[in-house]
Amino acid sequence: MTLLEGSIGVEDLVLLEPLEEESMLKNLQLRYENKEIYTYIGNVLVSVNPYQQLPIYGPEFITKYQECTFYELKPHIYALANVAYQSLKFRDRDQCILITGESGAGKTEASKLVMSYVAAVCGKGEQVNSVKEQLLQSNPVLEAFGNAKTIRNNNSSRFGKYMDIEFDFKGSPLGGVITNYLLEKSRVVKQLKGERNFHIFYQLLAGADAQLLAALKLERDTGGYAYLNREVSRVDGMDDASNFKSVQSAMTVIGFSEEEIRWVLEVTALVLKLGNVKLSDEFQANGIPASGISDARGVREIGEMMGLDSKELERALCSRTMATAKEKVVTALNVVQAQYARDALAKNIYSRLFNWIVNRINESIKVGIGEKKKVMGVLDIYGFEILEDNSFEQFVINYCNEKLQQVFIELTLKEEQEEYKREGIPWKKVDYFDNGIICNLIEHNQRGILAMLDEECLRPGVVSDSTFLAKLNQLFSKHSHYESKVTQNAQRQYDHTMGLSCFRICHYAGKVTYNVNSFIDKNNDLLFRDLSQAMWKAKHPLLRSLFPEGDPKQASLKRPPTAGAQFKSSVAILMKNLYSKNPNYIRCIKPNEHQQRGQFSRELVATQARYLGLLENVRVRRAGYAFRQGYKPFLERYRLLSRSTWPRWNGGDREGVEKILGELSACTSEEVTFGKTKIFIKSPKTLFYLEEQRRLRIQQLATLIQKIYRGWRCRTHYQQMRKSQILISSWFRGTMQKKRYGKMKASVLLIQAFVRGWKARKDYRKYFRSGAALTLSSFIYKSLAQKFLLGLKNNLPSTSILDKKWPAAPYKCFTTANQELQRLYHQWKCKKFRDQLSPKQVEVLREKLCASELFKGKKAAYPPSVPVPFRGDYIGLRGNPKLQKLTGREEGPVLMAETVRKVNRGNGKTSSRILLLTKGHVILTDSKKSQAKTVIGLESVAGVSVTSFQDGLFCLHLSEISSVGSKGDFLLVSEHVVELLTKMYRAVLDTTQRQLPITVAEQFSVKFKESNVTVKVTQGPRGNGNGKLSCKKKGSHGLEVTV
């Protein structure tokens, strides 16, 4: 139980001491300022609107409250919803949750939280989820058509709503039924300053697309409509366009068809269009005032949209037909009367549309006939209202709250009485204010205010609000709860606040003064028959269905029931419904008038507390016993107060509780009563005494636990230190003994060594000749080695590096030494050979070495080129001065000069060229004219591609940035390709300090001008590479070469 321990203020006002209005307000303010918005009065929940989102909702909190009992956690709306749902599911008791409070107190949000909790904890499944979604989505639709911005609240419900949610035996929702009460339809035609019309009008204009607005003949600007308050078109924190999309989506989820949604929007647009119908003064031929339509466009558009005859509608708005049994009389209406008729039509259309929407939702969520079901009702209805000017609406609202207060008192006392009976405790009569006298004053069938109002409306002759007030003054002149100016004068009382046209009723929540002006008109709520018939003649299906009385076949001269009679009947049905269910109450309170978070107005909250009867609730709850709890949880909480029950009790729960309370002096028999399953405590002081004793005992036990813990900790520390000391001592003694043993062992070994040495020396002197064998074997081995080396000296092979002969080792033991000597001798011969070579010969060998690295094992033409020395000049360059001039002196000597064949790019034919390779260029000249055709810088040579065959075909790949490279690569054939490419590789390396990439492949890519050509080389039938080379074009990007 968290009601006292660690709580902020008192969580249950039943335990409040002293029980006064000031202490109650102080407690509510303290909890509100600490963001504790919920407080209990027994099983009643008081909720103070925080005007902000608090982190106390969501799946985590739903799970927490689902698993706990009502008083186990902090007060919360989830706790109340859980008790109601669990009672419905497991005890098979129908439930109702009554949510009351004035506008802006958070009733709508409270009902949403209750429904969301029930939806979260009930069963799962596709059908169940569909029903839950339909029930939840009914809220945004009803809010759009039934809520509006008022001075007190940006999302005020302007109607009362009672929803019966029906469940199966498993606790899964099957559907529901919604009942609405007293929609404030006067708001359709008139709003106070700073207020708005119903949300749907603004949502429609802001959220509908241009096509829909055009179809409805509307404009987006809200300032163009007489029924909309031009001063307030938007609400902070409310997105009308987004909400319109949400309403359309919600209607689809509930089951509205696209056609039905369109019908609803068309009728909504009709109400806006009616407000723009302008009426002007006209006169009949006899001079009697009449009225007419000054702008026919509005009526024409209404007729086109609704399928109405505009003339018929104009006639119905501007005249009235009075029917008697014998004849019909048509009377022209003046402008004021016509405006009243127009506004009455607009209010009736919207009111009936709202009722149709509620009935359509009920069709979608209703439960099939014959299914066994449990019911949970949620009542979200307006709270008690006292305004500066109270009219008929406030009168019926306060009448409804009187009935709800009566239900609360009777059911609360009934519940108390049943619990006392179950527990075997005698019931004592409780003194409380019975507001039945006020209910009778209003609803008595013959002598009630509503009955007098209906009688005055039906009475022939001159009827007015004044005659109605006069009748009340005459009838209730001596009633203790009725006052007026007349009754005060009769009793010689003076009250300047009481007007001549007013009367006052002393309600349970305070005195309320009502102004009787418009009581008769609002109670009559008449709509001229001409307008009903005109609406019935419309071709629009929905509008036609809203006015069934307009059908001439169903025409009746019987007067329809008055608004007061209808509301009285609805309240009676509601009360009957509530009496059949187990009630759960949520009292909503508005902390300030400015909708600001953190502000708490004591005067405002005090007024609401009186309206809601919170103190009366607490007094009724405390009339018998302020606190009661089961024996087991009580024993579990307070068993530490008795040495008999602490720390362990093996007896029964009740015996344990009796043992505890018997040892406490403050718990006398007058204060405590034992029921069958519960302990009942009369005064909160006794409970506070128990809590104080428990707190002191917990401190004692905490001190005892700390003492025992410290002792245990010191003993444990001492034992650990003792064990550590013993362990350290044992390790130290062991180490010392090991060291001593090591020294003794070393000494023994030393003595043994000396003794063994002495004995060995003694035995050696005795047997010294035993070492002769080792000496002889060493001598023989040395003799053999000497003989081997001397023999090798006389039989050395020739000094030719090509001679690899070497005498074999005479003995196996010399094999390794013989191989090493052979290697050293060969290296010596090679060094001697290199020392004899000239620089030119060394250069030739380096070229051969480079050729080996480039082509050995890669190109078949390499092995035949190895024994052939590189000549460099194969064309007799010295005898040709013209070719010598082409090279220039700066280039140095010609590294390679030979005749090559160049493969033509176009047709693959070959032509003879002379190739000159210098240290900086590759020069291709005409073999006949000795003129330079192409000069290629070695830095422009990007790479070379050759085949692996014995042919001389190779490709010079040129870089694209060079002037020559832009013409493409060169495909050449050389008979000394190995020598040529080796010299070119070395020249590129010396000139550009980079290695020339040489690729050996049978297929490579050659760039000819802008295109690439793939050259594929195949070997001919001879396969030796000495045959004639042939080239064939294969399309525009292929060249096949056969070698």
* Tokens matching residue 57: 């909702």
Length of the chain: 1043
Which one is catalytic: 47, 103, 116, 197?
Answer: 103
DSSP state of 17: S
Q: Which amino acid is located at 166 in the chain?
A: E
Active-site annotation holder among 147, 157, 562, 974: 157
Please tell me which residue in 116, 138, 150, 153 is annotated as part of the active site: 153
Q: Give yes or no: 103 in active site.
A: yes
Choosing from 156, 401, 513, 925, the catalytic residue is: 156
Active site residue 153: yes
DSSP letters for 831-870? HHHHHH--HHHHHHHHHHHHHHHHHTTT-TTHHHHSSSPP
Of residues 869, 870, 877, 871, the one with CA closest to residue 915: 877
How is residue 379 annotated by DSSP? E
The tokens for 778 are 């060493």
Q: Is residue 302 within 8 Å of residue 273, measured between CB atoms?
A: yes
What's phi and psi for 1007, nearest 5 deg? -95, 120
Among the options 47, 49, 100, 108, which is catalytic?
Answer: 108
CA angle 367, 368, 374 (to 5 degrees): 50
Interatomic CA distance for residues 314 and 673, integer angstroms: 77
- The letter for the amino acid at 274 is L
- Asked if 513 and 503 touch (Cβ cutoff 8 Å), the reply is yes
In order, the DSSP letters of 960-999 are: TTSTTGGGB-EEEE-TTHHHHHHHHHHHHHHHHSSPPPEE
Task: Kindly state the DSSP code that residue 495 receives in the 8-state scheme.
Answer: -
**CA atoms within a 13 Å half-sphere pointing along the CA-CB vector of 956:** 32
- Write the burial class of residue 321 (CB in 10 Å: 0-12 exposed, 13-18 middle, 19+ buried): middle
- Concerning whether 157 is annotated as a catalytic residue, the answer is yes
Which residues have C-beta within 8 Å of that of residue 738, sequence separation ≥ 6?
Answer: none
Give me the numbers of helices (H) and strands (E) for the chain, helices first please: 32, 31
Q: Is the peptide bond before 18 cis (omega within 30 degrees of 0)?
A: yes
Distance CA 518, CA 567 (A): 17
Residue 108 appears among annotated catalytic residues: yes
Contact between 424 and 418 under an 8 Å Cβ cutoff? The reply is no
104 included as an active-site residue: yes
Catalytic residue among 106, 207, 383, 624: 383
- What is the token pair recorded at 292? 């007419």
Nearest to 949 by CA among 866, 856, 1041, 1018: 1018
The active-site residue, picked from 104, 146, 908, 968, is 104
Is 383 an annotated catalytic residue?
yes
Q: Residue 24: which residues within 8 A CB-CB, separation 6 or more?
A: 13, 16, 609, 614, 615, 618
Is the separation of the CB atoms in 305 and 217 below 8 Å? yes
**Cβ atoms of residues 1032 and 1017 within 8 Å:** no
By CB atoms closer than 10 A (0-12, 13-18, 19+), residue 292 is middle
Report the SS3 class of residue 100. strand
Distance separating the N- and C-terminal Cα atoms of the chain: 104
- DSSP lists the bridge partners of residue 664 as none
DSSP per-residue codes, 200-247: HHHHHHHHS-HHHHHHHT--S-GGG-TTS-SS----TT--HHHHHHHH
CA angle (453 as vertex; 398, 512 as ends), nearest 5: 30
Please say whether the beta carbons of 618 and 13 come within 8 A.
yes
Which residues are bridge partners to 968 per DSSP?
Answer: 1008
Tell me the Ramachandran region of residue 985: left when phi exceeds 0, alpha when psi lies from -120 to 50, beta otherwise: alpha
As a whole number of angstroms, the distance between CA 13 and CA 31 comes to 12
Show the DSSP H helices in 856-1004 as ranges: 862-865, 881-887, 977-992
- Which of 109, 133, 385, 415 is an active site residue? 385
Active site residues: 103-104, 108, 153, 156-157, 383, 385
